[in-house]
Copies of this chain bind each other. A is one copy, B any other.
Amino acid sequence: MATKSLEKLIDEFNRLPGIGRKSATRLAFHVLDMEEFEIERFTKAILEVKENTKRCRICHNFSEEEVCEVCSDEHRNKGIICVVEDTKDIVSLERAKSYRGVYHVLNGKIAPLNGITPDKLNIKSLMERVAAEEISEVILALNPDLEGETTAMYLTKLLKPFGIKVTRIASGIPMGGNIEFSDIATISKAMDGRQEL
């Protein structure tokens, strides 16, 4: 028996991904307990994020400026491009802190059955970068699924003629994971990708 305003807010939270009815209820009640300034800061952040966020002119990463923080960072190696499906992948890769090159966001992967043909992705701008700049390596950091494999093969075919190294991130048993509970596709990938010690 929540009030109408509460029900409305619960509905809103419930619409967010991964937020069930129970969590939505908890969150709505939490908002009721928040101070006025906290509520204002929260709603301001929601309203401003879309307003302030553009796409980087070079790599299509999210950015508040015309060129994103990675592309405008002079300590990054501009000769290596890591191709990702989605901006979210950049957040994860940056968190791992093991990569110092730049990125290129495809904004999806080839999936003809869903109407996503190569021309719908940021492939043309990738080719333009490769043609115009001194690129030594393109790393394909695409997810290891069917569409990811297809996209990787397609890009490899386009990139090879430029005479640059094209690599793909390793696939295998995740750290902390175990062989017993891994699916056969992962185990095969891990075997195929084995490295000499």
Interface, chain A (partner B; CB < 8 A): 1-6, 8-9, 11-12, 15-19, 23, 25-32, 34, 36, 38-39, 41-43, 45-53, 61-64, 68-70, 87-88, 90-91, 94
Contacts and interface: CB of A to CB of B under 8 A. Distances in A.
Q: How many chain copies?
A: 2
A159 to B, nearest CB: 24
Given A6-B62, A12-B46, 14 more contacts: A1-B68, A1-B94, A2-B91, A3-B52, A5-B45, A5-B52, A9-B46, A9-B48, A9-B49, A11-B45, A17-B30, A32-B50, A43-B46, A43-B47
A88 B29 contact: yes
A18 B26 contact: yes
A22 to B, nearest CB: 9
A1, A18, A34, A68 — most chain B CB neighbours (10 Å): A1
Contacts of A41: 12
Given A1-B69, A5-B45, A30-B17, A36 B50 contact: yes
B43 A2 contact: no
Choose among A3, A15, A69 the residue with the greatest number of B CB atoms under 10 Å from its CB: A3
Contact of A12 (B11, B45, B68, B69): B45
B49 A28 contact: yes
Given A16-B27, A41-B12, A4 B88 contact: no
